[in-house]
């Protein structure tokens, strides 16, 4: 549903000489502004900037499809996404350390576990020439999980709308991420087991 309008905008941006990497970096800057806004207690501004960050995250792929996909672009996209995912919980911890620091730390640890299971499998899948298009055309092997980008962004938007609920939301999502990480490890063990 989202791809056709994004692809249409992506073609226009590519024709205007805007590269996918420019869109990726611009989106990351918006994500950093979202984190700064949240850290200073401007939650609605953070909400809007998170939404814009995600729009740019979808547009960079559309621009790449309209022009040229590159390994550098895929690398920038996933790396800056992970930086952004870490920045938002940190911003909530800075904003209210007495109530948010411990839940933010738990959430960040669960992101670390989930992300490492995801990225480590992608490296091994590349080494073994494994590929999939189940999640659409990606720069790397995308092993699915319970807690992915859409769920994470939904969480961040909810946190920005209901900042007093951050501790509860962070603890619950940390548990979901740990279950997701465990499932990804099991899938990886099964897929990479030497026959």
- pLDDT for 51-86, tens place per residue? 999 999 989 989 998 888 888 998 999 899 999 999
CB 49 within 8 A of CB 31: yes
Q: How far apart are CA 68 and CA 19, in angstroms?
A: 9
- Res. 155: pLDDT tops 50: yes
Residue scoring higher pLDDT (17 or 49): 49
In this predicted structure, what is the pLDDT of residue 189?
A: 83
Mean pLDDT of 10-32: 94
Tell how many helices (H) and how many strands (E) occur in the chain.
7, 0
CB atoms closer than 10 angstroms to residue 4: 9
Residue 133: pLDDT band (50, 70, 90) is: low
Report pLDDT for 145.
Answer: 61
pTM attached to this predicted model: 0.85
What is the rounded CA–CA span in Å between residue 88 and residue 183?
Answer: 25
Return the pLDDT at 142.
54
Contact 129, 195 (CB under 8 A): no
Residue 167 backbone dihedrals phi, psi, to 5 degrees: -55, -45
- Where do the structural domains in the chain lie, given as residue ranges? 3-192
pLDDT digits (tens, 9 = 90+) for 98-126: 999 999 999 999 999 988 888 888 788 77
- Whether pLDDT at 152 is above 70: yes
- Amino acid 59: pLDDT: 93
137, 77 contact by CB (below 8 A): no
What end-to-end distance do the CA atoms of the chain give, in Å? 40
CA torsion 49-53-59-60 (nearest 10°) is 140
Contacts of 80 (CB under 8 A, 6+ apart): 24, 25, 27, 28, 31
- Mean pLDDT of the chain, nearest integer: 88
- Is the CB of residue 74 less than 8 Å from the CB of residue 18? no
- Distance between CA atoms of 34 and 44, rounded to whole angstroms? 9
Instruction: Tell me the fold of 3-192.
Output: 1.20.120
The pLDDT confidence band at residue 168, using thresholds 50, 70 and 90, is: very high
Token pair for 102: 């411990």
pLDDT of 112 reads: 94
- Residue 141 has what pLDDT? 47
Identify which of 22, 146, 154 has the alpha carbon closest to the alpha carbon of residue 88: 154
Structure confidence at residue 138 as a pLDDT band (50, 70, 90): very low
């Amino acid at each position: 549903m989202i791809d056709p309008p994004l692809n249409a905008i992506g073609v226009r941006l590519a024709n205007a000489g805007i590269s996918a990497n420019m869109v990726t970096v611009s989106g990351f800057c918006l994500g950093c502004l979202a984190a700064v806004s949240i850290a200073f207690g401007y939650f609605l501004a953070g909400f809007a900037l998170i939404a814009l960050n995600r729009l740019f995250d979808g547009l960079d792929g559309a621009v790449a499809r309209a022009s040229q996909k590159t390994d550098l672009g895929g690398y920038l996209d996933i790396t800056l996404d992970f930086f952004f995912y870490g920045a938002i919980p940190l911003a909530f911890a800075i904003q209210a350390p007495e109530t948010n620091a411990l839940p933010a730390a738990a959430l960040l640890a669960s992101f670390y576990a989930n992300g490492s299971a995801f990225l480590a499998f992608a490296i091994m899948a590349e080494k073994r020439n494994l590929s999939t298009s189940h999640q659409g055309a990606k720069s790397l092997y995308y092993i699915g999980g319970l807690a992915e980008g859409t769920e994470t962004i939904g969480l961040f938007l909810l946190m920005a709308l209901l900042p007093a609920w951050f501790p509860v939301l962070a603890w619950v999502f940390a548990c979901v991420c740990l279950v997701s990480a465990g499932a990804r490890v099991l899938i990886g063990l099964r897929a990479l087991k030497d026959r």
